[in-house]
Structure 1
C-alpha cells in the first residue's frame, strides 16, 4: 500500500465509528440546535443535483435547510423541497451565478452552520469566482464548507488580484470530495496513477490546500491537513457508481458538518453512511438499478443503528473521554 512518509492508515469501520460518536442534539432541543445547511448549486440542465444533495443533508440529521439556486429553476426546486427556503440567484448565459448573488448569500453567513457548494453547477470559472468571494465571509463567521463538483475548481481559477505564483490555500480547513478524475484535473497527475495509489496525492493535497480530502473510489481515502489518513474499503458496491450518487454523499457530509461534526469526522462518517446505504439497497433491490435518490432514505435508520451501538458501548465502558482519530489506530 502506498502512503506518504509511511503514514498509518486508519480504517473507517464499525469499531472506529463507535469510538467516534457524532454530536447529538439534546432531547428537548429544537431544529436550530441540529444545524442549518445552505446548499448552493443547480443549473437549468441539472436542477436535480441540488435536490439530491439538500435531501441528503436533512436525512443526515440537519435541522434547517436553505437552497440557493438559479432563478430559472428556483420554483421547481422549491416545489420538490417543501422543507427548504429557496433563494433564486441571477444566472448568466453559461448557467453560472452573477457575483451579485453575494447580496443574497452574505447575510446567511451568520445564520448557517455549513455550506455545500457545487452540486449541479456548470460554469467552473464563474463558480470559482463566487467561492473566492464567499470565503472571507464564511471564514469570519466560522461556517463549515464543503466543495463538490466544479466548485473544487477554486484551486485552478484565481481572482484577478491574486499574487503571481502564490498557491491556493484555505485559511480554515474545508472539505473537498473529488473522485479520481477530478483529482487528476486539480493536480495535473495522471488519473491512472491516482486510481492505483491514491494515498500520497490525497495527503499532499490535504497538506498543501489545508483541506480534508475525501478521494472517492472503491477504496475511498480521507486525508486531513495534519497528515492523518483514513480508508474505507469496499465502498458499498458498484451500484453506487450512478448519476447523482456523489451529490448525495456531499449532502450527507454537509448535514453532519452542520450538526457539529469536525470536518474529518463528517467526511469519514459520510463516506461510511453512503457505502452502508448502498449495501442495504443492494441487498433489498439488487446490486444494479437502485437510484441515487434512494440512498438518502437509508441514512436515518443507519444513524439510529450506529447511535444505539455507540450508546450501549459507552454505557458498558462507563465514563470515558472522547478519542480523537489520529492519536491511535482506529479499529484495532
Structure 2
C-alpha cells in the first residue's frame, strides 16, 4: 500500500472519477464515491445524470459533480463523454457503472469514454461490464462480476460458472485482457500472466443491496492511490470483507447496510497495512 509522507498533499493520493447513478438509483453513485474517498483517494469527481447531480453534490460536499445529459432510456448520451475530457489528464482511476441504466446507451458511452482515460485504471461494474461483449480492452481494466453477471458476459450458464469459478475467472481474464474479480462466497481474482488469488473470508451479510457499489468504489480509490489492478482488487476484497466482519460484531451477521461499510474502511486498510509491514 503506498504510504504518502506526512507533508504530502491530496494530489499525491490520486484523483478518482466515479461515473455512476441514474434517476432510479442515485444512491449507487453515492456509495461508490464515498468508498473511494474512504480508501484514501485525494480528490473525487462524480459524473452522473444531470437529474441527480445536484442531490449528489449536496450529499457529498467533498466532491466535484458533473451533470451529464441523459437518454429517454435512462442511459447517458455519448456526447456527455466530451464534457469529461478536460478532467482526464488529472484522473488516475475511473469507476464506471454502479447504478447506471440502459445497457445499449451505457456500452456506447463507455466505448467513447475509455480512450480518454487510457493512462488510468478503469473499474467497470454492473452494466458497464457489457462493453467486453462488444469491443476489446486495450488498457488497465478491472471487472467485478458476480456469478450471474459472469454467465451473461461469458455466455456460460450460471451453474457452469459456480462449478468452476477459478477456471472461469482465469479464462475471462485472458480473453478480455483484464483483471477479473469474480465475486461470491469465495471471491476469485485473476489477471493475465499473474498468480490466481482466492479469498474465502466473505460473509452472508455482505450480500446486500449496494455492497458491490461500495466495493467498486473502494477498488477505484485504491487504484487512484497507485496500486496496480490486481493489488487494488486484492486489498479491496479483503478490506471490504473486514468491514463486513466489523459490522457483524456490532449488529449481528445480517441487517447492516452497505452505506455503513465505508465508515469501517479506513481502519481496515490501516490494520491490513500495519500487519503487512510487521511481516
SS in 2 for 1:214: strand
> Is residue 2:260 matched to residue 1:283?
no
Where relative contact order (Cα < 8 A, 6+ residues apart) is larger, the structure is 1
Deviations 1:257-297 (CA, angstroms, capped at 9, x unpaired): 00000100000110001111111111111011100000111
Counterpart of 1:74 (choices 49, 53, 57) is 53
Q: Which residue of 1 aligns with 2:104?
A: 125
State the 1:51 CA deviation.
0.1
> Is residue 2:230 matched to residue 1:264?
yes
> Is residue 2:269 matched to residue 1:292?
no
> Is residue 2:157 matched to residue 1:190?
yes
Quote the Cα distance in structure 2 between the aligned partners of 1:123 and 1:185. 16
Q: Which residue of 1 aligns with 2:142?
A: 175
Quote the Cα distance in structure 2 between the aligned partners of 1:185 and 1:306. 34
SS in 2 for 1:175: strand
Q: Which residue of 2 aligns with 1:155?
A: 132
Q: Is the 8 A contact 2:18 2:94 kept in 1?
A: yes
Quote the Cα distance in structure 2 between the aligned partners of 1:215 and 1:271. 10
State the 1:131 CA deviation.
1.0
Quote the Cα distance in structure 2 between the aligned partners of 1:216 and 1:308. 26
> Is residue 2:207 matched to residue 1:241?
yes
Unaligned runs of 5+ in 2: none
Q: Which residue of 2 aligns with 1:6?
A: none
Quote the Cα distance in structure 1 between the aligned partners of 2:131 and 2:195. 24
State the 1:234 CA deviation.
3.1
Matches within 5 A, 1:1-332: 22-139=1-118, 142-156=119-133, 158=134, 168-235=135-202, 237-313=203-279
Q: Which has the larger radius of gyration?
A: 1
Quote the Cα distance in structure 2 between the aligned partners of 1:217 and 1:224. 17
State the 1:227 CA deviation.
4.7
Quote the Cα distance in structure 1 between the aligned partners of 2:194 and 2:233. 15
State the 1:103 CA deviation.
2.0
Aligned residues: 279
Q: Is the 8 A contact 1:118 1:149 kept in 2?
A: yes
- Seen in structure 2, the aligned counterparts of structure 1 residues 270 and 128 have a Cα distance that, compared at 3 Å, is same
State the 1:169 CA deviation.
2.5
CA RMSD of aligned residues (A): 1.0
**Normalised by the size of structure 1, how large is the TM-score?**
0.82
SS in 1 for 2:47: strand
SS in 2 for 1:132: helix
- Seen in structure 2, the aligned counterparts of structure 1 residues 227 and 207 have a Cα distance that, compared at 3 Å, is farther
Runs of 4+ in 1 over 6 A off after TM superposition: none
Quote the Cα distance in structure 2 between the aligned partners of 1:222 and 1:305. 22
Quote the Cα distance in structure 2 between the aligned partners of 1:116 and 1:217. 20
Quote the Cα distance in structure 1 between the aligned partners of 2:116 and 2:103. 21
